[in-house]
Amino acid sequence: MSNQSLVDAEWALSHLDDAKVVFIEVDEDTEAYAGNHIKNAIALNWKTDLQDPIRRDFVNKEQFEALLSAKGVSNDDTVVLYGGNNNWFAAYAFWYFKLYGHSDVRLLDGGRKKWELDGRELVSDVPSRAATKYVAKDQDLSIRSFREDVLKAIGTQNLVDVRSPDEYAGRLLAPAHLPQEAARIGGHIPTAANIPWSKAANEDGSFKSIDELKALYEGAGVDLNKDTIAYCRIGERSAHSWFVLHELLGVKNVSNYDGSWTEYGSLVGVPVAVGDEPGTA
């Protein structure tokens, strides 16, 4: 697949020693990077680096600038993101870098999983990069949705729930690699189509072909001429689907609702649908 935002292993291998290309592994669990990682890659933690330590929100512009400056990332660097979980968190970080206006950010197709399954080299040496003075832009809110946007979109715009069918229907409250939680209700936002993120990925974590991705959304009856809001449980799987729509298929009016089901499913007084059907407005 040829796309400016997506690179493959061969491209990565030819740029591992390029000082202006920064490989960044993004995980929630730091165990993976600490064990080994792609040569010269640095790490970002999805939660401790990119989430505000107190409020449920992102780090602000100044905090993001301080983070990337300390990590040695410059504004004119090409940032290549990869990670575990089929690139969920790397796709989230891609969307996050776009949100703060980084000009050249890319995703390694298949992430850590494909790299490992293909038997490619991983190293334990941690590189050191000189600190920089990174300058971020204000958040591009055209690619981020909030709960008010979602409520307005019910029955009028596209809502795409990218969780598994059992989470969409309310039969599971979390992905099955996590203990099932009991305090929150299950279900989905009424009128949301269920197009699981996994339908866009091959078994090795790489993206399906452009033709297959187009067929996926067209086959689900999503009119991409309308604005589209993607969501999941906390916004990382939907960042993967946002990447498919915005970066691979070139659909520009797509945003990610990072509050996702953990926010919506806890709101008082909002409509909720359960079962396998989208439900009505």
Partner 1 sequence: MSGCGAVVGGVSLDNVDITNQAVIQGVISSGNAPASVGYARLLDRNDEFVAEVPISKQGEFRFFTVAGDWTIVALIPGANSRTPVQATIGKILDVDIAVIK
Is residue 8 close enough to count as binding partner 1 by CB under 8 A? no
Print the binding letters for residues 231-250 with partner 1: x by CB under 8 A, - otherwise. -xxx-xx-------------
Among 14, 60, 180, 280, binds partner 1 (CB under 8 A): 180
Query: 39 and 142 in contact (C-beta within 8 Å)?
Result: no
Tell me the backbone φ, ψ of residue 219, rounded to 5 degrees: -65, -25
Could you tell me which residues come within 8 angstroms of residue 152 by beta carbon, excluding any fewer than 6 positions away?
none
DSSP 7: E
Among 66, 101, 166, 274, binds partner 1 (CB under 8 A): 166
- The conformational region for residue 16 under phi > 0 = left, psi -120 to 50 = alpha, else beta, is alpha
Whichever of 84 and 190 has its CB closer to partner 1, that residue is 84
How many other β-carbons are positioned within 10 Å of the β-carbon of residue 90?
29
CB of 180 to partner 1, least distance (A): 5
The region of 94-102, 198-206, 217-225, 242-250 touching partner 1 under the rule CB under 8 A is 198-206
| Measured CA angle at 115 (ends 110, 118), to 5 deg | 110
- The conformational region for residue 139 under phi > 0 = left, psi -120 to 50 = alpha, else beta, is beta
The region of 22-30, 93-101, 150-158, 222-230 touching partner 1 under the rule CB under 8 A is 22-30
* Binding interface with partner 1 (CB under 8 A): 27-29, 31-32, 46-47, 56, 84-86, 88-89, 113, 116-119, 164-166, 171-172, 174-180, 182, 196, 198, 203-204, 232-234, 236-237, 262
